[in-house]
């Protein structure tokens, strides 16, 4: 039995007005081609499958995904997707109900799991393994809708307890099962000790689960952390996201993991297989730099972040406009840094200057910061901002 482990696809996500759909579909095809080449029986997607929730755009994303997946399902590939923190329960329930979108074979070979579940997966040769599915801890998923919490930390603490109870419960069920077969855990969880921006994430920000609660199964397929990370052994790991998601991930490698099982457990150590993610490039412009020459070094498929260093009294808008024409996939708006703009009391006043000289960028940045990435209305709000800016410019 061959299993390919992937996670954190974030289908439909954009990066500062740059569509990622083509990048994402290229990675999906790359992953499915690996499944073809390695004769994989099962593809495990460990959460954060779909960011898009707007009906028309979601339909486009899913139809493109279905077109790639359908022939593989017809050849026998099975796919199990567990819900992550960027996935919506209602979307997973809808997809699970409407699996015929992926073809007749999807009825039994495609599963969307939004509540904890213990499955038995069987391939065409009669080989079987247990799959424990643990979605990201949310109140509805773990039957805690009626609980009143004191604060976010209390909520996350109780959600963490619910996850631990499910793990212990499944371990008991598996021990008492007389049928011998290997078990795999697939979960979208934060394991205690993982860091973000050099700080360990706590119950204030997430639902950390102690590593000691991870069972000693044949393999543990984790999602949620974008950087590929082994946790103590090659058999317990975050495979990482299939694409670089933002410029904090510039230069990071991407991979899927191939796991091979027989009736007793793992046949060999899991194998990491490299993917080819989209290139990210950062450019920094100073007064006197030749932006045309800088832009020539940016491949057309690369995503570019531009930092504009503007002398006091300068105007960044001409540079911004030129960059937008020269660089096909430019994150918008570029970051503007004002040189020598520090008040006498030591307070950096560059944001005030930006409001004066680049108010459009200030408005865009402010709205983008205030609206969460996974907010269903985020894209619509950003589109409305662009319409208002255009109307103001023409008034």
Please report the domains of the chain, with CATH numbers, ordered by start residue: 2-274 (3.60.21.10), 280-394 (no CATH)
Cα–Cα distance between 274 and 257 in angstroms, integer? 9
Q: What is the pLDDT of residue 315?
A: 84
Q: What is the pLDDT of residue 76?
A: 94
Q: What is the pLDDT of residue 60?
A: 93
Q: What is the pLDDT of residue 390?
A: 64
Q: Are 25 and 66 in contact (CB under 8 A)?
A: no
Q: What is the pLDDT of residue 166?
A: 97
Q: What is the pLDDT of residue 352?
A: 36
Q: What is the pLDDT of residue 204?
A: 62
Q: Are 245 and 16 in contact (CB under 8 A)?
A: no
Instruction: Compute the residue count for the chain.
Output: 395
SS3 state of residue 42: strand
Q: What is the pLDDT of residue 201?
A: 52
Cα–Cα distance between 203 and 226 in angstroms, integer? 19
- Tens digits of residue pLDDT in 120-149: 999 999 999 999 999 999 999 999 988 888
Q: What's 348's DSSP letter?
A: B
Complete DSSP assignment for 151-216 = SHHHHHHHHHHHHHHHHHHHHHHHHH--S---EEEEEE-EETT-EETTEE--TTTS-EE-GGGS--
Prediction pTM value:
0.84
Q: What is the pLDDT of residue 353?
A: 36
Tokens of residue 74, six digits: 């017809």
Q: Are 295 and 269 in contact (CB under 8 A)?
A: no
Regions of the chain with pLDDT less than 50: 199-200, 343-357
Q: What is the pLDDT of residue 349?
A: 39
């Amino acid at each position: 039995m061959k299993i390919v482990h992937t996670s954190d696809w974030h289908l439909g996500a954009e990066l500062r007005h740059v569509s990622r759909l083509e990048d994402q579909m290229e990675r999906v095809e790359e992953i499915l081609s690996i499944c073809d080449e390695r004769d994989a029986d099962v593809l495990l997607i460990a959460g954060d499958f779909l960011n898009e929730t707007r009906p028309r755009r979601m339909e486009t994303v899913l139809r493109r995904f279905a077109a790639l997946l359908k022939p593989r399902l017809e050849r026998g590939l099975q796919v199990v997707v567990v819900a992550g923190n960027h996935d919506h329960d209602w979307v997973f329930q809808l997809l699970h109900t409407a699996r015929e979108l992926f073809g007749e074979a999807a009825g039994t070979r495609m599963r969307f799991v939004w509540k904890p579940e213990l499955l038995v997966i069987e391939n065409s040769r009669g080989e079987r393994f247990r799959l424990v599915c643990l979605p990201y801890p949310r109140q509805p998923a773990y039957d805690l809708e009626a609980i009143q919490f004191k604060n976010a930390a209390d909520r996350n603490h109780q959600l963490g307890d619910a996850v631990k109870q499910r793990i212990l419960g499944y371990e008991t069920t598996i021990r008492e099962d007389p049928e011998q077969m290997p078990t795999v855990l697939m979960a979208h969880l934060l394991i205690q000790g993982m860091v973000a921006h050099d700080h360990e994430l706590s119950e204030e920000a997430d639902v950390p689960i102690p590593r000691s609660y991870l069972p000693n199964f044949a393999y543990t397929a984790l999602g949620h952390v974008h950087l590929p990370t082994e946790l103590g052994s090659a058999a317990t790991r975050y495979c990482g996201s299939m694409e670089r998601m933002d410029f904090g991930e510039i230069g990071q490698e991407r991979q899927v993991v191939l796991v091979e099982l027989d009736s007793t457990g793992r046949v060999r150590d899991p194998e990491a297989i490299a993917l080819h993610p989209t290139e990210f490039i950062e450019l920094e412009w100073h007064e006197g730099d030749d932006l045309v020459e800088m832009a020539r070094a940016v491949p057309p498929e690369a995503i570019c972040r531009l930092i504009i260093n503007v002398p006091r009294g300068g105007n960044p808008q001409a540079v911004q406009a030129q960059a937008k024409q020269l660089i096909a996939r430019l994150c918008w708006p570029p970051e503007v840094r004002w040189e020598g703009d520090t008040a006498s009391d030591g307070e950096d006043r560059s944001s005030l200057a930006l409001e004066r000289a680049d108010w459009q960028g200030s408005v865009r940045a402010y709205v983008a910061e205030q609206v969460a990435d996974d907010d269903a209305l985020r894209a619509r709000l950003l589109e409305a901002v662009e319409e208002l800016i255009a109307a103001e410019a023409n008034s």
